């Protein structure tokens, strides 16, 4: 029994040590620093909950949190809608489905920063030229207002992630027993009814995975935000991750940023846990 | 209630393999037709063409005189039972059975009545609120049947519905399906690879091989008057025994063995011809007095089935099975006289394998 215990811990050790060093210790240190006045150079002194009290009154932080929430809700819905639609298209009997799969997945292979710059060019130059040509002024001001900045980010994120989420939906759609779809066909279901009553309830596990991924990714978005809008105009499109980064590395208030990060972590964790719990309840065992 | 007509029905996959070839069949109202054959013989493909789940490559299929080739499955007014039940896992038994009626927009009260009726017939009343996962194989099969019954469809299609059940349950469900058919009288097409199911349930059997119909007939016809060697060997358990030999006068000769064929049983014009004769196990048996159809054979294996023995032996290089009364005391390795009832023999052409009548 002793040797078995030893072997057990021996095999677990690499992961445990790595996880402790890069996740647990920094996390605990982070929690500790959030209660100090650490500025990146001197450790500072213990200030109790002062940082947390301050951030509740910090409008810039609260605005970014609200902006991030709006962005996440819209993006999660849109990405999953588009992802599932694409998956339905490429799993139907069309000839070019393999080519389409590759095409739809490709944006996901481009890094977030590059993607931001590409779309910045599209929104500012291409949209403006098209707007000029067709005489639509609304196309000429993209990314210069909060509104267009918001939708610019949503479009960019959906374009990037929909293909990735599509792959997850494809896997689940292909795992649906063919007989069930045939049985529903014979039972008299139209293709919409088949989707509504059979396919949709049965791909519930895919929703759990996809929504978790999209939710956590959109909440933590940083590089696309940086390269597309840079938080502008007037920090109105600044998302939480970027706000925390600026607090730490621009304003050099590391401890304060750390407190924000802790709150952000708690929010994302609660939202994600709630989402997974809620989704799991809808799942059916085959 | 429906009359089906299949003319020259053909199915090719990707323009290559011919899965079903020139399938011609008329099914009368209230018939219980069984498609039987080994795996890959095209029986399921034919059924799926009837259901509309598979396109018909050429030929026509019609129900009550109406051509169905291009009609969507949902508009064919058929109900189908699948091999693995295909119950919707996220719906209760009630919802599973009510699904098609709900899609039709039937009033709730009527749906309830129909589902309850079907559930009562099938003994599912206590399970209506359960999900399929919480049911045994036999119960799931009943739900699948129930889903078909409530539809009150013109035609029932069943694709190997019993093959996932254990043997005892299979026999029980077999009789239940037969009873159901007697009660509802819905025209039914039933696919199976099990010849026992075919023999016990069918009003007519369609035997298929390599996409081609070998014979269509009542269970008695295909058993007693098989059209060819394949049908003769496929129907019946244990299978019919075959012996290659030659007709010389009134004798069937193989090697050193000569068996006398009664005049009445011998088809004309076979003298000096090579033939295959087929004898069912029940026609190779024990007879107290020796005559010109009795041969001494060495018993290879003796199986006691309770009321009778199955005896396995070899004669002139042909292995065969016979049936002997269990009152005799038999054991493997002994030499025993076996009587070949040549008046029951069936004669087949060795090249075409067709029966010589």
> What's the rounded mean pLDDT across residues A69-74?
93
The list of chain B residues with pLDDT below 70 reads: 1, 15
ipTM (interface predicted TM): 0.80
Domain co-membership, B187 together with B62: yes
Instruction: From B234, B250, B285, give the residue that closes a domain.
Output: B234
Q: pLDDT per residue over A192-216, tens digit each?
A: 899 999 998 888 888 888 988 998 8
Q: How far apart are CA B288 and CA A251, in angstroms?
A: 113
Q: How far apart are CA B4 and CA B155, in angstroms?
A: 9
CB B103: neighbour CB atoms within 10 A? 17
Confidence of residue A49 (pLDDT cuts 50, 70, 90): confident
Q: How far apart are CA A16 and CA B25, in angstroms?
A: 70
Domain co-membership, B246 together with B211: no
Residues 6+ apart with CB under 8 A from B220: none
pLDDT of residue A2 exceeding 70 = no
Confidence of residue A46 (pLDDT cuts 50, 70, 90): confident
**DSSP secondary structure of B71-94:** S-GGGS-EEEE-TT----TTS-HH
Instruction: From B212, B234, B256, give the residue that closes a domain.
Output: B234
Domains belonging to chain A, first-starting first, are 58-238 (1.10.3720.10)
Q: pLDDT per residue over A245-285, tens digit each?
A: 988 888 888 888 989 999 999 999 999 899 888 888 877 66
Q: Which of B54, B99, B105 to mutate to test the interface with A (most CBs of A within 10 A)?
A: B99
Q: Which of B50, B88, B140 to mutate to test the interface with A (most CBs of A within 10 A)?
A: B88
Confidence of residue A111 (pLDDT cuts 50, 70, 90): confident
| Closest by Cβ to A188, choosing from B74, B82, B88 | B74
Domain co-membership, B326 together with B266: yes
Domain co-membership, B86 together with B102: yes
Domain co-membership, B223 together with B87: yes
The percentage of chain A sitting over the pLDDT mark of 90, rounded to a whole number, equals 30
Domain co-membership, B268 together with B159: no
Instruction: From B204, B234, B264, give the residue that closes a domain.
Output: B234
Q: How far apart are CA B56 and CA B78, in angstroms?
A: 17
- Contacts of residue B73 in chain A, CB cutoff 8 Å? 182, 185-186
**Partner residues linked to A72 by β-bridges:** none
- Contacts of residue A187 in chain B, CB cutoff 8 Å? 74, 99-100, 103, 147, 151
The percentage of chain A sitting over the pLDDT mark of 70, rounded to a whole number, equals 98
Q: Which domain holds residue B292?
A: 241-356
Residues B329-354: b if buried by 16+ CB within 10 A, e if exposed: ebeeeeebebbbbbeebbbbbeeebe
Query: Of B316, B312, B282, B281, which is closest to residue B299 (Cα–Cα)?
Result: B312
pLDDT for the residue numbered A94: 81
Q: How far apart are CA A191 and CA A177, in angstroms?
A: 16
Q: How many domains does one find in chain B? A: 2
Domain co-membership, B98 together with B165: yes
Domain co-membership, B202 together with B267: no
Q: How far apart are CA A161 and CA A148, in angstroms?
A: 20
CB of A191 within 8 Å of any CB in chain B? no
Assign residue B89 the CATH number of its domain.
Answer: 3.40.50.300
| Closest by Cβ to B53, choosing from A182, A201, A285 | A182
Domain co-membership, B192 together with B149: yes
- This prediction has a pTM of 0.79
């Amino acid at each position: 029994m002793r040797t078995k215990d030893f072997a057990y811990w021996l095999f677990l050790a690499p992961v445990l040590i790595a996880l402790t060093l890069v996740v647990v210790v920094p996390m605990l240190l982070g929690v500790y620093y959030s209660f100090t006045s650490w500025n990146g150079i001197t450790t500072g002194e213990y200030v109790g909950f002062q940082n947390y009290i301050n951030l509740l009154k910090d409008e810039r932080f609260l605005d970014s949190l609200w902006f991030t929430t709006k962005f996440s809700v819209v993006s999660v819905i849109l990405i999953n809608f588009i992802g599932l639609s694409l998956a339905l298209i490429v799993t139907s009997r069309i000839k070019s489905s393999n080519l389409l799969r590759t095409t739809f997945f490709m944006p996901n292979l481009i890094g977030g920063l590059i993607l931001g710059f590409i779309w910045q060019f599209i929104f500012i130059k291409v949209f403006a030229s098209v707007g000029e040509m067709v005489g639509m002024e609304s196309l000429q001001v993209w990314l210069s207002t909060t509104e267009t900045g918001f939708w610019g980010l949503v479009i960019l994120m959906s374009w990037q992630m929909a293909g990735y989420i599509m792959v997850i939906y494809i896997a689940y759609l292909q795992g649906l027993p063919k007989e069930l779809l045939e049985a529903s066909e014979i039972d008299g279901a139209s293709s919409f009814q088949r989707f509504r009553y059979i396919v949709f309830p049965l791909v519930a596990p895919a929703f759990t995975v996809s929504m978790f991924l999209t939710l956590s990714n959109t909440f933590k978005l940083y590089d696309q935000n940086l390269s597309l809008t840079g938080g502008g105009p007037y920090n109105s499109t600044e998302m939480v991750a970027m706000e925390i980064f600026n607090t730490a590395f621009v304003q050099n208030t590391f401890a304060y940023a750390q407190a924000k990060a802790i709150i952000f972590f708690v929010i994302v964790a609660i939202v994600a846990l709630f989402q997974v719990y809620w989704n799991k309840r809808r799942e059916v065992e085959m | 209630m429906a009359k089906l007509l299949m003319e020259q029905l053909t199915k090719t996959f990707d323009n290559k393999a011919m899965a079903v070839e020139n399938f011609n069949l008329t099914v009368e109202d209230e018939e219980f037709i069984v498609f039987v054959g080994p795996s890959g013989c095209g029986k399921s493909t034919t059924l799926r063409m009837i259901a509309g789940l598979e396109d018909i490559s050429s030929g026509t299929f019609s129900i009550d005189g109406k051509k169905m080739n291009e009609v969507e499955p949902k508009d064919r007014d058929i109900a189908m039972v699948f091999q693995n039940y295909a119950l919707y896992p996220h719906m209760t038994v009630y919802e599973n059975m009510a699904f098609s009626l709900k899609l039709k927009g039937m009033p709730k009260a009527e749906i309830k009545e129909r589902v309850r009726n079907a559930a009562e017939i099938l003994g599912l009343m206590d399970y209506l609120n359960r999900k399929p996962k919480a049911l045994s194989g036999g119960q799931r099969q009943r739900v699948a049947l129930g889903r078909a019954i409530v539809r009150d469809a013109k035609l029932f299609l069943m694709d190997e519905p019993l093959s996932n059940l254990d043997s005892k349950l299979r026999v029980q469900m077999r009789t239940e399906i037969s009873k159901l058919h007697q009660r509802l009288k819905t025209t039914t097409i039933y696919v199976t690879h099990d010849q026992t199911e075919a023999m016990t349930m069918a009003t007519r059997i369609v035997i298929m091989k390599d996409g081609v119909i070998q014979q269509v007939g009542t269970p008695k016809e295909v058993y007693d008057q098989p059209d060819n060697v394949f049908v003769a060997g496929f129907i019946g358990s244990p299978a019919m025994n075959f012996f290659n030999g030659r007709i010389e006068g009134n004798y069937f000769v193989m090697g050193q063995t000569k068996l006398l064929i009664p005049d009445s049983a011998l088809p004309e014009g076979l003298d000096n011809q090579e033939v295959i004769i087929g004898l069912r196990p029940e026609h190779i048996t024990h007879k107290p007095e020796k005559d010109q159809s009795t041969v001494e054979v060495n018993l290879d294996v003796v199986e006691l089935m309770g009321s009778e023995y199955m005896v396995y032996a070899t004669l002139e290089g042909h292995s065969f099975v016979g049936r002997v009364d269990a009152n005799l005391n038999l054991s493997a390795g002994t030499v025993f006289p076996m009587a070949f009832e040549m008046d029951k023999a069936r004669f087949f052409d060795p090249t075409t394998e067709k029966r010589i009548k």
